Every structure is written in C-alpha cells, then in structure tokens.
C-alpha cells in the first residue's frame, strides 16, 4: 500500500522524531511510505483563529499533493480533524466545484495514525516494547472530533513492558487550544497545570498523546517546572522495539539524522 505521510508543519519543524518514528512503524508493518515534499500546512491555525478566508490555497495544495496515494496518514488528531471537517467547508465556500471534488476525493483516504493502524491495517499489536509507566491524554480533537475512542489505548495496551496508568480527568482539555494558549494565557496555564498534576498523581513517567501541539504546551510547562514526567508522541512509543528500546536507531535514522 502506498501511503502518503502528512506529517504536519509543527511536526516537520519541531518534532522530526515523531515523523521518523511514524515512518519506521509503518515500514515495519509493510507499508510503502512516501513524504511528498510539496506538503506544507493544513491551515488549522488560520481557520480556528478566524482567518478561514486565507486557507483556500492550503486546502488546494493538500488535495493536489495527496491525490495519488492509496492512503494518507497523519500523526495528528487535530490536523486530521481540520482536513476531515473543515477542508470540505473551505472548498464549498470557495465556490470552486473542481476543488470541492478534489477535496471530496482525498478526505476519505485521510487517517490519523492510530485509526490507520487499527481500522485499515487491522493491527493492535505492532510489536512494540516500551518498559515505562505511561498515561495517555486523549487530546480533545482526537477524542471529540476524530472519535479515536479506544484505538490509541488498545495499541498501548499491547506494547510489551508498558504499564498504562489511568489519568484522572483524562477527557478534560489540557488548555492548549492553538492561539488560545497565547490569547488566554492564564486560563491556558491553569488548565495545563491541572493536567500535569493529574499525570503526576497517576504516577506516570511518560505522558503520551496523539498530538504534539498539546504536548508542546504540556511539555513546555513540565520543563519549566522541572517536573518528573516527560511527554512523548504515541508514534514514538509504538516505534520502539526490544531490539531498539529507544526506538531511534532503525534503519533510516541510523544514517545519522537524529532530530
């Protein structure tokens, strides 16, 4: 299966290891992965901040770039939701019927990573090994827009050595919310502090999510407070194996290009 990886601009720029882990994982499971260089951004920040009028070129670029793949996989619940829910809206608003058709053709092929693993590849045991206590934070867009349900935790439960701990108040928002984090910094920080307190109370070593943007906010608070918990994207846990516990030395990465 020819899989187009839509990594997202945040991961491309700030979290290349999440991309490398996604590639390693999908290749391990037999996918032919490509990262089309023409990809940029899904337009979510513009859309959600009230600049929806500006996203049409990004919507067009996405539909063109990913038209030729059997499936498109993205390691981000919120960018996935932007594409699934709002690219059709943006295309309809543009009044360009060809764009609406192109978007309608590509959207059903777009899957968030855990969705792709569980629903398309039909696996919940990806052969991973990660001997740590992990709390899973089901980020809001993964939970309520993408409706990932128990897919991520089903995958985590099958990771050897991993102890999945219950995160109190798991379904509560972490306070990131895109530009909310800077437009309402005090409420954002209050929410983040509660999320971190809950992860610490759960005794987690690692706070895991399917969205690096939320983890950027929580991770930034954790390093500022020098907390004991660290953040990690789901893909990086699923990529780790017994032979390679760090999950960072698979073939492609061994070529010397660590993030």
Partner 1 sequence: MSAVPLGMPSFPDAAREATRNPTLRRNLRHATHTIRDRRAAAVAELDDWAELRAAGAAIKDRTLRHLDTYLEQAEAAVVAAGGHVHWAADAAEANRIVTDLVRATGETEVVKVKSMATQEIGLNEALAEAGITAYETDLAELIVQLGDDRPSHILVPAIHRNRTEIRDIFRDAMGEWGIPAPDGMSDDPRELAEAARLHLREKFLRAKVGVSGANFLVAETGTLVVVESEGNGRMCLTLPETLISVVGIEKVVPTWRDLEVFLQLLPRSSTAERMNPYTSTWTGVTDGDGPRAFHLVLLDNGRTSILADEVGRQTLRCIRCSACLNVCPVYERAGGHAYGSVYPGPIGAILTPQLRGTGSAVDASLPYASTLCGACYDVCPVAIDIPEVLVHLREKVTAQRGHVIERSALRAAAWAMRDPKRYTALQRAAAAGTRALHPRRLPLPGWGKAWTDTRDLPAVPKESFRTWWQRRDTSGGTK
Of these, 2, 54, 197, 242, which contacts partner 1 (CB under 8 A)?
A: 54
Q: Is 4 in the site for partner 1 (CB under 8 A)?
A: no
CB nearer partner 1, residue 95 or residue 186: 186
Q: How many residues in total does the chain contain?
A: 259
CB nearer partner 1, residue 125 or residue 179: 179
Distance of closest approach, residue 123 Cβ to partner 1, in angstroms: 20
Residue pair 20/112 in contact (Cβ under 8 Å)? The answer is no
Q: Is 39 in the site for partner 1 (CB under 8 A)?
A: yes
Mind giving me the DSSP string for 62-102?
HHHHTTT-SEEEES-HHHHHIIIIIHHHHHHHHT-HHHHHH
Please tell me the count of residues contacting partner 1 according to CB under 8 A: 73
Distance of closest approach, residue 173 Cβ to partner 1, in angstroms: 4
CB nearer partner 1, residue 22 or residue 162: 22
Of these, 30, 95, 122, 186, which contacts partner 1 (CB under 8 A)?
A: 186
Task: Compute the distance between CA of residue 134 and CA of residue 146 in angstroms, rounded to an integer.
Answer: 22
Of these, 3, 26, 33, 156, which contacts partner 1 (CB under 8 A)?
A: 33
CB nearer partner 1, residue 187 or residue 228: 187
Distance of closest approach, residue 234 Cβ to partner 1, in angstroms: 17
Count CB-CB contacts under 10 A for residue 51. Answer: 11
Task: Compute the distance between CA of residue 79 and CA of residue 85 in angstroms, rounded to an integer.
Answer: 10
How many Å is the maximal CA-CA distance in the chain?
53
- Is the backbone of residue 43 left (phi > 0), alpha (psi -120 to 50) or beta? left
CB nearer partner 1, residue 51 or residue 98: 51
Distance of closest approach, residue 92 Cβ to partner 1, in angstroms: 12
Q: Where are the alpha helices (DSSP H) in 111-233?
A: 113-115, 140, 151-157, 180-183, 185-201, 212-225
- Which residues, numbered 95-154, are part of the site for partner 1 (CB under 8 A)? 140-141, 144-145
Of these, 199, 217, 240, 247, which contacts partner 1 (CB under 8 A)?
A: 217
């Amino acid at each position: 299966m020819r899989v187009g990886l839509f990594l997202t601009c945040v991961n491309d720029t700030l979290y290349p290891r999440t991309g490398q882990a996604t590639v390693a994982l999908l290749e391990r499971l037999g996918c032919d992965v490509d990262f089309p260089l023409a990809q940029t951004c899904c337009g979510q920040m513009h859309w959600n901040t009230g600049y929806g009028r500006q996203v049409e070129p990004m919507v067009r670029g996405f539909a063109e770039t990913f038209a030729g793949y059997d499936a498109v996989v993205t390691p981000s619940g919120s960018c996935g939701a932007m594409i699934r829910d709002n690219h059709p809206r943006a295309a309809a608003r543009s009044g360009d019927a060809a764009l609406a058709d192109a978007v309608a053709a590509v959207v059903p092929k777009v899957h968030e990573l855990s969705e792709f693993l569980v629903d398309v590849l039909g696996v919940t045991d990806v052969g991973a090994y990660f001997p740590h206590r992990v709390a899973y934070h089901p980020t809001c867009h993964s939970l309520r827009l993408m409706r990932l349900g128990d897919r991520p935790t089903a995958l985590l439960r099958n990771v050897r050595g991993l102890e999945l701990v219950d995160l109190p108040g798991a379904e509560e928002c972490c306070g990131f919310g895109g530009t909310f984090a800077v437009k309402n910094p005090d409420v954002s920080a209050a929410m983040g502090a509660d999320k971190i307190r809950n992860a610490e109370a759960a005794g987690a070593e690692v706070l895991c999510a399917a969205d690096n943007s939320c983890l950027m906010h929580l991770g930034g608070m954790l390093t500022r407070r020098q907390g004991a918990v660290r953040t990690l994207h789901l893909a990086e846990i699923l990529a780790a194996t017994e032979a390679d516990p760090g999950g960072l030395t698979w073939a492609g990465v061994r070529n010397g290009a660590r993030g």
